[in-house]
Amino acid sequence: MSFGGIAGHETAKQVLTRAILTDRVSHAYLFEGPAHVGKTLTAVAFAKALMCAEPPEPAESCNACAICRAVGRGNHPDFLLLFPTSRLETTDEEGQKAVAEIEGSLIRREAIGQLIDRAYGRAVSARRKVLIVSDAQAMNEEAANHLLKTLEEPPGRTTIILTATSADSLLPTIVSRSQLVRFGPVPLAETQAAMTRAFPGLDSALVRSVAALSGGRPGWARRLLEHPDTLAIRRRLLDRVARLPDQPPLVCMRAAEILIDDAEAWWLATSEGHTARELLKRNRDRVLRTQVGELLDLLVTWFRDLSIAGEEGAEGLLINADRIAELKRAAGRAPNCAAAGAAVSQAKEALRGNANLRLTVEVMLIRVRRALTAAVPGPAFP
């Protein structure tokens, strides 16, 4: 993908384009912004623009030459894309033990060593070497210190790009040696347009809903639309919550269990099969906490929509645009959806700490059920 194909981030793209046009490309950048917003995508597009053999115009890439294609596949010798991994001990068919690296949570010193070797080695065919450390906050201390030395004495015609959700999560000495480029949420219209281009066959109300649910993170929206299982999980989740008030309180226990099972299904649906299963086996609690958090985000937007759906002219403001009719119907019968939403937000906060996963979800559902069944005062709702 070239710059033109990336949704949003106009300022970031301008800064990077200008750097190429004025031949003032920095030796180190830090792309800071939320997960799934497009930082790594932009870093790779920048790499192509810097390395392309036949740029159609200055500061763009052809996306078709041997270099662009190799960068796209991640296997050009003047390019490197590091991301956090986990180490996995496996046994092959002959019973030999082997260690495999899978997508995970840590960037180790050895990985940074590989980057440094590449930084100081001779360029093979590109005009510039580009080395990307995606989710640089996952570097352990040793790795970060190792990288720092390279940033202090940067090799020529090499650009290192770090991406991170927050500059505060990195060593201040690394941040001060990098040019900061901020990535904010992508506006809804642009996310929606990009998803419509990418998934032309899908229902437009659904695409709009997913774009709105993403909160400006096109990568997150794309992941959902690419994996229809996640959309089914969302549908089931919203259906179950809608039924809660009609059922006895005891149902919350079972509903909590199902929600956690759904969080597991969500994880497996959005990650690469074998790797995802292994990570789940090894870090079950941590994985499920983050995935339950994603489902709770869906609920927060649902109750937010419910609280305004009954108002005149609210239609254009609803995030769950594919369920407008149901939201309007339910709005009159859900007097206390703000309290339900607050219960969900509090549960999400508790899960960021050490709160027990199962218990937190149960208590949340009990509170949600109570909020949604609260007696409605006054004669307005007979």
**Shortest Å distance, C-beta 65 to Zn ion:** 3
**The tokens of 51 are what?**
């390395």
CB contact at 8 A, 223 and 200:
no
**Shortest Å distance, C-beta 162 to Zn ion:** 24
Q: What CA dihedral angle connects 72, 75, 80 and 81, to 10 degrees?
A: 50
**For 312, phi and psi rounded to 5 degrees?**
-60, 130
The residue ranges that bind Zn ion (CB under 5 A) are 52, 61-62, 65, 68
Q: What CA dihedral angle connects 18, 150, 174 and 105, to 10 degrees?
A: 100
Q: Measured between alpha carbons, how far is 279 from 283 in angstroms, rounded to an integer?
A: 6
Residue among 71 and 167 whose Cβ is closer to Zn ion: 71
**Shortest Å distance, C-beta 38 to Zn ion:** 20
**Shortest Å distance, C-beta 11 to Zn ion:** 25
Residue among 127 and 149 whose Cβ is closer to Zn ion: 127
Residue among 68 and 269 whose Cβ is closer to Zn ion: 68
Q: Which helix (H) or strand (E) holds 99?
A: strand 97-103
60-63 long-range contacts (CB < 8 A, ≥24 apart) are 60/2, 60/3, 60/4, 61/2, 63/1, 63/2
Residue among 62 and 280 whose Cβ is closer to Zn ion: 62
Q: Which residue do the tokens 């940074």 mark? A: 112
Residue among 54 and 311 whose Cβ is closer to Zn ion: 54
**The tokens of 295 are what?**
């489902």
**Shortest Å distance, C-beta 50 to Zn ion:** 11
**Shortest Å distance, C-beta 62 to Zn ion:** 4
**Shortest Å distance, C-beta 69 to Zn ion:** 8
Longest dimension (CA), the chain: 80
Residue among 123 and 324 whose Cβ is closer to Zn ion: 123
Residue 268, classified by CB atoms within 10 Å of its CB into exposed (0-12), middle (13-18) or buried (19+), is middle
Residue among 45 and 263 whose Cβ is closer to Zn ion: 45
Query: How are the residues of the chain apportioned to helix, strand and coil, as percentages rounded to the nearest 5?
Result: 60, 10, 30
